[in-house]
Amino acid sequence: MEQEDTIAAVATAMGESAIAIVRLSGIAAIPIAQQVFRGKRKENITLLPGYTVRFGHFVDLHGETIDQGLLTLFRSPHSYTGEDMVELSCHGGRAIVSRLLETLLQHGARLAEPGEFTQRAFFNGKLDLAQAEAVADLVKAKTERARRVALNQLEGKLSEVIHRLRSDIIGALAAVEVTIDYSDEVGELDYPELEGRLAHICQQALCLANTAHYGRILREGMRVALIGPPNAGKSSLLNQLLQTERAIVTPIPGTTRDLIEESLSINGIPIVLTDTAGLRATADPIERIGIDLALKTAEQADLLLFIVDASDLSSLNTLSPLPAVESKDRPALFLLNKKDLVTNDVLEQAANLVRQKFPHVTDIIPISALTGENIELLRDKLQQITTSSLYGDTEGVMITSTRHSQALQEAVHHLQEALTTTHQRLPGDFIALDLREALNALGQITGETVDDEIIHRIFQDFCVGK
Ligand SMILES: Nc1nc2c(ncn2[C@@H]2O[C@H](COP(=O)(O)OP(=O)(O)O)[C@@H](O)[C@H]2O)c(=O)[nH]1
Ligand SMILES: [Mg+2]
C-alpha cells in the first residue's frame, strides 16, 4: 500500500471548540512536525522519544505564527496506526485548523482519505478488521448499549469468538485431512467422533449468527407499530409516549393517513415508533393507501401495539382478524384505550371481546392516552420486551454488521453441509471442502481472508481523520 506517504487530517469535528486536533502519520510525520512546531525549549523534536508532549507555537511556511498549542509525539510501533505519528492540538477554530492543515500539506504531507488512519492500523496489525469496524461503530453509537457492544468488539471480544470457532474448524479439518493423506498409518476417519465435533461447532456458529437480530435492533432501534381502528387513540398514544404534540389528534376518524415515525429511547434501547392510519373499510383512495402502508408497517415491526377504544364495544365487535397480529413471530400488546371513559365492568367486557377475536393474545393493558394513566406500566412492558429481545447475546458479543452476518451465515451453511456429508459417511475430501469454505467465510470477518476491494469499501464509510 502507499505506506511511504505521510498523511494528515483534522481528527476533530469542524466548528468552534476549545481545542481541535490535527493528525499526522507516516515516515515523515516527525520531520514535518519539526518544520511547523516551535517549542518553548527550542529542542529538535526529531530526537524526542515517543509519548512526549510539548507546548509551543505552530508556524506557517514563512515562519508566521498560526496558533499556540501542544504537540504529542508517538514513535512506531507504539501509535494508533503503528507508524510514527504526531498530534497537534490547537484552538478549535476553522481558520486555525485550515491553515495548520494547509501548512502540513505544503511540507509534503498528503490529505488522508476517510478511515485511512484506521486502515493503516489494520495493515500494520494493530487491529483486525472487525476491531477496525468497531471504531466507526463506537463513534456512531447513540445509546449506552450500542456503545458497550462496539467497545467489546473494539477490544477484540468478537474476534476472540471467531478465532475460537476457526481453530475448532481447523482442528476438525486436520483430523479429516490426516486420514486422507495417511490412511495407512492413522486408519479410517472416525465419523461419529467428527459428527459430534461438527455439530458442536455448528451450534456455536448458529448461536452467534442469531445475535444479528439483536444487533439490528441496537443499531436501528426496535420497530414498534401503533395500529388499530380509527379513533382508537393511536396518535394520542404516540404523543403521550413522546411527551409532545407530534401527531394531529382529532375526534374525526381517519385523521392520520401517512406514517408518522419517531424515535425514543427506553433505558438506553432505541425504539422507533410508527403511528399509522386507522384500519377500516374505506372508499377514499388516499386513506386506502394509508391503510395499506399501516398493514405493511405492522408486518415489518418487531412489536405491535394494537390499540382499541374500550368505550366503543360495537367497534370491538366488528374487529377483523389481522395476519400481522395473528403471527406468533412477533410480540403484540393489546391496549384498551380510553380507560377514563368506562367502568371496570365495561373494561372486562372489552378484554373478553379481544380474547375471543385474538385467542393467543396474552397481554392486554388498559390505558388512557388522554390522562396518561398506565402509560408508565406500558413503558415498563415495552422495556421488558425490548430487553428480552436483546438477551440472546453470547458473552456480550453481538453481530451488529450486515457484512459479518452474511459471512457467518455462509460459514453456518458450509458447516451444515460438512455435517451432512459426515453423517452420510462420504469420503473425507467432501467434508474438507466445506470446512475450508467455512474457514474462509469466518476469516472475512476478522480480515484474514478478505479481499482488498471489500477492505477499501469498509474504510470508505469512515470519516476523514479517523
Ligand atoms: N377520553 C379519552 N379520549 C381519548 C383518549 N385517547 C384518545 N382520545 C380521543 O379520541 C379521539 C381520537 O384520538 P386519536 O389519537 O386521533 O385517534 P387515532 O385515530 O387512533 O389516531 C380524539 O378526540 C382524542 O382526544 C383517552 O384515553 N381518553
Ligand atoms: Mg391518528
What pLDDT, on a 0 to 100 scale, did the predictor assign at position 1? 47
pLDDT surpassing 70 at residue 391: no
> What's the gap in Å between 356 CA and the centre of ligand 2?
26
What pLDDT, on a 0 to 100 scale, did the predictor assign at position 329? 66
- The mean per-residue pLDDT over the stretch 357-375 comes to 90
- The mean per-residue pLDDT over the stretch 364-391 comes to 87
- The mean per-residue pLDDT over the stretch 157-182 comes to 94
Backbone angles phi, psi at 234, to 5 degrees: -65, -50
Backbone angles phi, psi at 222, to 5 degrees: -80, 125
pLDDT surpassing 50 at residue 327: yes
Cβ 255 under 6 angstroms from ligand 1: yes
- The mean per-residue pLDDT over the stretch 279-297 comes to 89
* Helix, strand, coil fractions of the chain, as percent rounded to 5: 50, 20, 35
Confidence of residue 2 (pLDDT cuts 50, 70, 90): very low
Confidence of residue 317 (pLDDT cuts 50, 70, 90): confident
- The mean per-residue pLDDT over the stretch 141-163 comes to 89
Domains with residue ranges and CATH for the chain: 7-127 (3.30.1360.120), 133-211+397-447 (1.20.120.430), 221-389 (3.40.50.300)
> What's the gap in Å between 239 CA and the centre of ligand 2?
10
Cβ 369 under 6 angstroms from ligand 1: yes
Contacts of residue 352, defined as CB under 8 A and 6 or more positions apart, other chains included, come to none
Number of other residues whose CB lies within 10 A of the CB of residue 106: 13
Confidence of residue 187 (pLDDT cuts 50, 70, 90): confident
3-state SS class at 281: coil
Cβ 229 under 6 angstroms from ligand 1: no
Which cell is 128 given?
Answer: 483486525
